[in-house]
Structure 1
Amino acid sequence: MRVSTAMQVEGYSLEAQKDRLTKFAQFQDMEIVREYCDAGKSGKNITGRPEFSRMLQDVAEEKDGVSYILVFKLSRFGRNAADVLNSLQYIQDYGVNLICVEDGIDSSKDSGKLTITVLSAVAEIERENILVQTMEGRKQKAREGKWNGGQAPFGYELDSKNSTLIVNPEEAEIVRIIFDQFTRMEAGADSICKYLNQHGYTKKRLRDQEVSYFSRSTILKILDNPVYVGKIAYGKNKTEKVKGTRDQYCRVKQDEYLLADGLHDAIIDEETWEAAKEKRKRTGVRWVKTHSLDHEHILSGLIKCPLCGGGMSGTVQRRKNKKTGEYKDTFYYRCHHRKRVDGHICDYKPMLNQKVFNAEIEEFIRYMAGGEKFKEFLMEKLEEKVDVSSLEEEKKQLAGQFQQAQGSRKKLVQMLERLDPGDKHYDRKYQDMQERMDNLYDRIAELEEAITDVETKIGASYGKQVTGKKIYQFLLDFDILYGKMTDLEKKEFMRTFIESIELDPDEKDMGRIIKHIDLTFPVYYDGQEGDRIRMPKENTVETICKLVRK
């Protein structure tokens, strides 16, 4: 006997199955020697059905010399054709046959095994068709521009009656800020997070484990979602079977998917969306230089234009010596952005000589790293441990909710399978269950994303500690090691250690042009009065240090 859900359906409950089997055995003058019951177990496969496995083991041990196994219907024995036939062959090898009482099948008869083969295959196909029809229903809604289930994305509210989205004005303004910062201000995801959180912007907590502040994953999710340009996407992720397994599946991102015009209003325009999409392509992969010059613009992107705030990049001026005919390259940092500032195009024209400016920054780090208190601070940091216990607990809770949602989905599939097409309320029941299935798939996808987000945070916590320790270890011997590094290695170090270098627009002298430096990792320095440096803008920073100006 088996039921796959706690919701007992008349005629399929354990009691009803037992009663029918008992009466059949009495009528056939059979003796019942043992009963096996898998309550709340799916018939998709035999994995996870302890009583079924115990039954097969008892058959192999020839307990009580049984001749038959009685089941109410073939679907109670199993719904996977391969499992049904393998199990049937297994018990027949020990001289035991199968009788499906309600279906009138007896495997000991000539036609019995053929009938079982056909019915088990039909049952499996029917189960797969139900899943396909459910997903096709969601796909059709997407084609029509309707929201096809789940919670509304940030910036919108759900109009469930019309299956569409309505713009939330307050959240929509935040979405516009995110796209504007990313495309026009050239800010990255981390910088956008800091900007929003520091300016008091928050988001609604839809679940207990969610946070109200903005995270990197939230920003990237918004930037990659075409819903904000008035589109409905379907099939960005696909459930695929894990190779080498029978019933294991995983979610895989798809390069191509359905994208239809939505019935909802767009929050951003097409031009902004295309600009964000193009930048995501550029910044989503590691850039590798291909030109032949053996030179790296070490502080490119870290130096911020004092007028528009954009990252200053490297440029080269090549001059020819008229006497020798040789060329000499001089490298500079300059603002290549032409953003509008107060209604005017950014016209910051000064170019910073890279050799001089790089030396200024290197001298600051070298001077700072030479202090005894600084070295004591580094030794303490190298001994610190990372604490991710709260994140691990959050991941555990999400995993539990994910398993629960998966279980609910499986139960709903079983209920769909048992619907009687002859029932006068069949269409209504089917539609209701299909909508519930849509919501479950969305819930599962949301939980998968949430688990990935937590895992990313855990990895980032460990990664940040490892990176921080490498930086601290390097700083202990900075004066020796830095001179042996290639330009590319120096560039990677600076990008890891320094978040930004801001300039004073009023200072023309190179020696006083640096306004302040933001560091990525906490560093102790007992600087002089008037020195300029700032630590990372995080609540966890415990020390303040200043940039020494000799």
Structure 2
Amino acid sequence: MKRNDDYILTEGQHKGIVSEEVWEKAHAKRLRTGVKQPSKIGRDRVHLLSGLLKCPVCGSPMYTNKHAWTNKDGTYKEIYYYVCSRNRMVRGKHCEYKAMLKKTDIEPMVIEAIREIVRNEEYAQAIKKRIGVQIDTKAVDKELEGYQAKLKEVDLNKTRLEREIDSLPVDAKYRERKLHDMTLRLDSLYDVIVELEEKIEDARLRRDAIKQQAITLENIYKIMVNFDCVYNIINDEEKRNVVTALIKEIEIYRNDESEYPLKRIGLNFPVFKDGGEVTELLWDKGNTVECVLQMTRKSN
């Protein structure tokens, strides 16, 4: 593959199909009218609430659907809606809920709810405690040490057995049978070694995954405690990570039930307070987010 800048251009020796004057005019016209616009496919693929929003009728996840058009003046417009994932299913459990929820209507409400969440010091501390749990690799470390100690023991037995095979006298009684038995034992030890090596590799991968998850969660915590400062400058993928780390699911009202769609937000991290735990945020019908944010408690 070569870059365009690396191409070598030179005058052709053959006679052109059209005259140079006609070619120049056609080329100029193509530059004016025939150049493709940048592809819009793939833009804005990260949507904050995809999968988190639940259909108010069937409870299935809601995902985005795009309505796009080009105006007469050439400007490109697009609007994203959240729709029930089962609404367009031909087979299986089809949902009749056809209403579409504008992305620009629901997402700002959820972001405002997150602002309220992160201002709660006890909630932030609950996530901080979860970080401590996530970085605890003691169980995996102990498991790994056990496998490594067992591998060392088996490897010593293998070395000892190999030594016995090598030193078995040529005139030893039942030598062939002994060699056969020792070879079977040696093969068995190799099987154990391979199995232990696989378990060690698996444990190492699990330990690395725990550490990586802890790093991600710790980054999310840092974003949380500085949410108002950093939210507008982090990219869409980071915003999505923050939202999914904090929120388990979001219920909405049917479009004919309330002027405001937000109904309930289920949280991933319960906050313990006054002998109970806050696990969700509720909204009343017809009220704004700022007015009705409230915490519900479950008794232990």
Please give the TM-score of this superposition, normalised by the length of structure 1.
0.36
User: How far apart, CA to CA, are the structure 2 residues paired with 1:419 and 1:457?
Assistant: 44
Percent identity, aligned pairs only? 25
User: How far apart, CA to CA, are the structure 2 residues paired with 1:493 and 1:374?
Assistant: 14
**Residue 111 (structure 1) aligns with:** none
User: 2:271 aligned with 1:524, yes or no?
Assistant: yes
**Residues 76-113 of structure 1: per-residue CA shift (max 9 Å, x gap):** xxxxxxxxxxxxxxxxxxxxxxxxxxxxxxxxxxxxxx
Q: Secondary structure at the match of 1:318?
A: strand
Is the 8 Å Cα contact of residues 338 and 345 (structure 1) preserved in structure 2?
A: no
Among 356, 367, 390, the alignment partner of 2:105 is: 356
Report the CA distance shift for 1:434/1:383 in structure 2 as closer, same or farther (over 3 A): closer
Among 64, 68, 83, the alignment partner of 1:318 is: 68
User: How far apart, CA to CA, are the structure 2 residues paired with 1:374 and 1:441?
Assistant: 52
Q: Structure 2: any 5+ residue segments left out of the alignment?
A: 1-39, 284-291, 293-300
**Residue 400 (structure 1) aligns with:** 149
**Residue 346 (structure 1) aligns with:** 94
Q: Secondary structure at the match of 1:298?
A: coil
Q: Quote how far apart the aligned CAs of 1:398 are.
A: 2.0
Q: Quote how far apart the aligned CAs of 1:421 are.
A: 7.6
Report the CA distance shift for 1:455/1:543 in structure 2 as closer, same or farther (over 3 A): farther
Is the 8 Å Cα contact of residues 308 and 339 (structure 1) preserved in structure 2?
A: no
**Residue 200 (structure 2) aligns with:** 451
**Residue 279 (structure 2) aligns with:** 545
Q: Secondary structure at the match of 1:484?
A: coil
Q: Secondary structure at the match of 1:333?
A: strand
Is the 8 Å Cα contact of residues 254 and 261 (structure 2) preserved in structure 1?
A: no
**Residues 8-52 of structure 1: per-residue CA shift (max 9 Å, x gap):** xxxxxxxxxxxxxxxxxxxxxxxxxxxxxxxxxxxxxxxxxxxxx
Among 13, 34, 47, the alignment partner of 1:297 is: 47
User: How far apart, CA to CA, are the structure 2 residues paired with 1:339 and 1:411?
Assistant: 67
Report the CA distance shift for 1:383/1:394 in structure 2 as closer, same or farther (over 3 A): closer
Is the 8 Å Cα contact of residues 366 and 479 (structure 1) preserved in structure 2?
A: yes
Q: What one-letter code is carried by the residue in structure 1 that aligns with 2:116?
A: Y
**Residue 501 (structure 1) aligns with:** 249
**Residues 263-297 of structure 1: per-residue CA shift (max 9 Å, x gap):** xxxxxxxxxxxxxxxxxxxxxxxxxxx94524522
Is the 8 Å Cα contact of residues 312 and 334 (structure 1) preserved in structure 2?
A: yes
Among 222, 229, 232, the alignment partner of 1:473 is: 222
Structure with the greater relative contact order (CA < 8 A, sep ≥ 6): 1 or 2?
2
User: How far apart, CA to CA, are the structure 2 residues paired with 1:391 and 1:397?
Assistant: 10
Q: What one-letter code is carried by the residue in structure 2 that aligns with 1:546?
A: E
Q: Secondary structure at the match of 2:43?
A: coil
Is the 8 Å Cα contact of residues 147 and 199 (structure 2) preserved in structure 1?
A: yes
Is the 8 Å Cα contact of residues 391 and 458 (structure 1) preserved in structure 2?
A: yes
User: How far apart, CA to CA, are the structure 2 residues paired with 1:371 and 1:349?
Assistant: 36
Q: Secondary structure at the match of 1:345?
A: coil
Q: Which of 470-479 and 385-394 deviates more?
A: 385-394
User: How far apart, CA to CA, are the structure 2 residues paired with 1:514 and 1:394?
Assistant: 45
Q: What one-letter code is carried by the residue in structure 1 that aligns with 2:235?
A: T
User: How far apart, CA to CA, are the structure 2 residues paired with 1:339 and 1:432?
Assistant: 66
Equivalent residue pairs, number: 240
User: How far apart, CA to CA, are the structure 1 residues paired with 2:184 and 2:83?
Assistant: 56
Q: Structure 1: any 5+ residue segments left out of the alignment?
A: 1-289, 528-541
Please give the TM-score of this superposition, normalised by the length of structure 2.
0.60
Q: Secondary structure at the match of 1:297?
A: coil
C-alpha RMSD of the superposition: 4.3
Report the CA distance shift for 1:438/1:546 in structure 2 as closer, same or farther (over 3 A): same
Report the CA distance shift for 1:506/1:357 in structure 2 as closer, same or farther (over 3 A): closer
**Residues 417-447 of structure 1: per-residue CA shift (max 9 Å, x gap):** 4457877855544443344334323322332
User: How far apart, CA to CA, are the structure 2 residues paired with 1:354 and 1:309?
Assistant: 18
Q: What one-letter code is carried by the residue in structure 2 that aligns with 1:346?
A: H
User: How far apart, CA to CA, are the structure 1 residues paired with 2:60 and 2:280?
Assistant: 24
User: How far apart, CA to CA, are the structure 2 residues paired with 1:466 and 1:486?
Assistant: 18
Is the 8 Å Cα contact of residues 253 and 263 (structure 2) preserved in structure 1?
A: no
**Residue 411 (structure 1) aligns with:** 160
Q: What one-letter code is carried by the residue in structure 1 that aligns with 2:104?
A: K
User: How far apart, CA to CA, are the structure 2 residues paired with 1:477 and 1:502?
Assistant: 23
Q: Quote how far apart the aligned CAs of 1:368 are.
A: 1.6
